[in-house]
Amino acid sequence: MNKVKSYFPTGIITAAVTPMDKDLNADTNLLVTHCRNLLTQGSDGIVLLGTTGEANSFSVNERKGILEDALEGGLAPQLLMVGTGCCAITDTVALTRHALDLGVTNILMLPPFYYKPVTDEALFNYFSRVIETIADDRLHIYLYHFPKNTGIDLTIRLISKLLERYSDTIVGIKDSGGDWNHMQKLMHEFPSFRLFSGTEEYLLETLKAGGVGCISATANLTVANAAKVIYDFHNGKDADKSQRLLTAMRNVFSGYPFVGAVKGYLAIESKIPSWNYLRPPNEVLDEDVVSLFVKKVQHLKSKSFSRQA
């Protein structure tokens, strides 16, 4: 099969939350509406079924159904990246093949995160077996580095070894480690490797250092302001000022669980209470706490609009 170049967009990518009904089944109609709104507000692409999308709270069949419904609802496959990484190789392969069959070629892949400690060699064997089992030239994998949640470190040595063998397949990374030095080293060591910061806090610095953007949970709420940072950066405007405002918005949520915080915010802002449905162990945050988030972010947004006037 000839290689089909279908790289994921650069810029601000929203890690979409997954709305649910009262029985905690995915509400894919609301999901499609939400994703369309995000794209209209300036999101360059959407990640489905990442951490914020509660991927690991859904079964393999449920995850397949969510992606199918999203595409049937009109979301363009080239604007989607889907999380497929599981502890079981067979589950990862099944979800990845399913996405490819539907035309979604950009995959966000967690490492196997249960058994510890694991060596670089063991992780290499995992990714190698996944790639060679799927054996599809369309596949573009973005590694998902999130040691706080996985307990797994995707080291520079491991990434180097993977790129030596699979540079046409492993094309980038979402770095949610929160370590700017680690991100800088990756961009320095692998300049053609597409690095997305896992937080919009580092959006501008990532762009300046040669990265391609960020994939963020709070972009569900801040996407328009994140898009402004990118616009200002590319058009010779004061991107540093825009970034300071965006960072202030992100920091409103620091120290709180992002899934409950983002869904709680959306429930208040949209007046759709069902946004507060989450699968355990994720929890609904206290309404008073979320109301404070809303007031703080709306105040910051009003400052942004007044500066643009």
Please say whether the beta carbons of 31 and 16 come within 8 A.
yes
3-class DSSP state for residue 194? Answer: strand
The one catalytic residue in 174, 218, 228, 263 is 174
Question: Do 191 and 197 form a contact (C-beta atoms < 8 A)?
Answer: no
Active-site residue (options: 14, 18, 28, 51): 51
Q: Is 166 a catalytic site residue? A: no
Q: Does the active-site annotation cover 144?
A: yes
Is 114 a catalytic site residue? Answer: yes
Quick count: other Cβ atoms within 10 Å of Cβ 91?
15
**Which residue out of 5, 7, 114, 119 is catalytically annotated?**
114
Strand 170-175 and strand 45-48: the pairing is: unpaired
Q: Is 142 a catalytic residue?
A: no
Q: Which amino acid is at 109?
A: M
Tokens coding 285:
């945050």
E strand or H helix at 114: none
Pick the catalytic residue from 28, 84, 126, 144.
Answer: 144
Strands (E), 111-249: 140-145, 170-175, 194-197, 213-216
As given in the structure block, the two tokens for residue 300 are 């910051």
Nearest-angstrom CA–CA distance, 92 and 97 = 8
Calculate the alpha carbon distances from 306 to 130, 228, 300 in Å. Answer: 50, 14, 10
Tell me which DSSP letter residue 172 carries. E
Which residues are tagged catalytic? Answer: 51, 114, 144, 174
